[in-house]
């Protein structure tokens, strides 16, 4: 009977201890994040990413840390990772237009020009006066125009190739028909005429 009374107290003490430990751990993210920001400002992006990783393992709800780590990934050329970080920021705080701009630039680097344009348009809806978003949108629109021009050129080349192939096929059919006429029908007509006139 005493054991049954002790079990709820043990469970309660474990839960209380776990809550206390998690609160203590959450408060420990700040030094890592401050250190990561200092490294970011000095241009040491790889080391900053490691510090942001530690900070986010302690406090995974900090959208600012995701944004800054995404910026570091962009500087390191890790565009897929930057895309994930900026997307996380947008999922948690969709009003942060800078995250849309960052994600747009990651998409641009990954050749997803239409996705980049959509993100920049969304950023401009949130902040219509943002000069950076306008500048990047001009850049992305130029890339899309070039892509469409290339696609049109490729399409025209394919059409020309198809027309040339159709012309070759018509010529080959005509030669086969001529071969049939000269090889079969004319000799049959000749021999039939000789046979009938004999």
User: What HEC string does the chain produce?
Assistant: CHHHHHHHHHHHHHHHHHHHHHHHHHHCHHHHHHHHHHHHHCCCHHHHHHHHHHHHHHCCCCHHHHHHHHHHHHHHCCHHHHHHHHHHHHHHCCCCHHHHHHHHHHHHHCCCHHHHHHHHHHHHHHCCCCHHHHHHHHHHHHHHHHHHHHHHHHHHHHHHHHHHHHHHHHHHHHHHHHHHHHHHHHHHHHHHHHHHHC
Across 136-158, average pLDDT: 82
Over residues 44-67, the pLDDT tens digits come to 999 999 998 988 988 888 888 999
Tell me, what's the pLDDT at 11? 43
- The pTM assigned to this predicted structure is 0.65
Tell me, what's the pLDDT at 122? 93
What are the sequence ranges of the domains in the chain?
A: 31-179
Over residues 26-46, the pLDDT tens digits come to 678 788 888 888 888 899 999
Higher pLDDT, 77 or 166: 77
Across 183-198, average pLDDT: 74
What CATH code would you report for 31-179? 1.25.40.10
């Amino acid at each position: 009977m005493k054991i049954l009374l002790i079990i709820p107290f043990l469970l309660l003490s474990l839960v209380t201890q776990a809550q206390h430990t998690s609160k203590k751990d959450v408060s420990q993210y700040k030094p890592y994040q401050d250190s990561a920001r200092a490294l970011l400002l000095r241009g040491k992006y790889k080391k900053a990413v490691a510090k942001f990783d530690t900070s986010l393992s302690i406090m995974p709800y900090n959208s600012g840390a995701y944004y800054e780590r995404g910026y570091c990934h962009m500087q390191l050329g890790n565009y897929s990772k930057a895309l994930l970080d900026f997307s996380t920021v947008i999922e948690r705080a969709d009003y942060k237009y800078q995250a849309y701009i960052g994600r747009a630039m990651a998409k641009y680097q990954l050749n997803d020009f239409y996705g980049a344009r959509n993100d920049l348009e969304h950023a401009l809806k949130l902040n219509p006066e943002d000069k950076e978003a306008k500048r990047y949108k001009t850049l992305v629109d130029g890339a899309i125009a070039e892509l469409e021009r290339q696609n049109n050129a490729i399409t025209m080349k394919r059409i020309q190739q198809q027309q040339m192939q159709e012309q070759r096929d018509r010529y080959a059919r005509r030669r086969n028909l001529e071969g049939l006429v000269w090889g079969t029908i004319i000799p049959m007509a000749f021999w039939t005429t000789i046979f009938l006139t004999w």
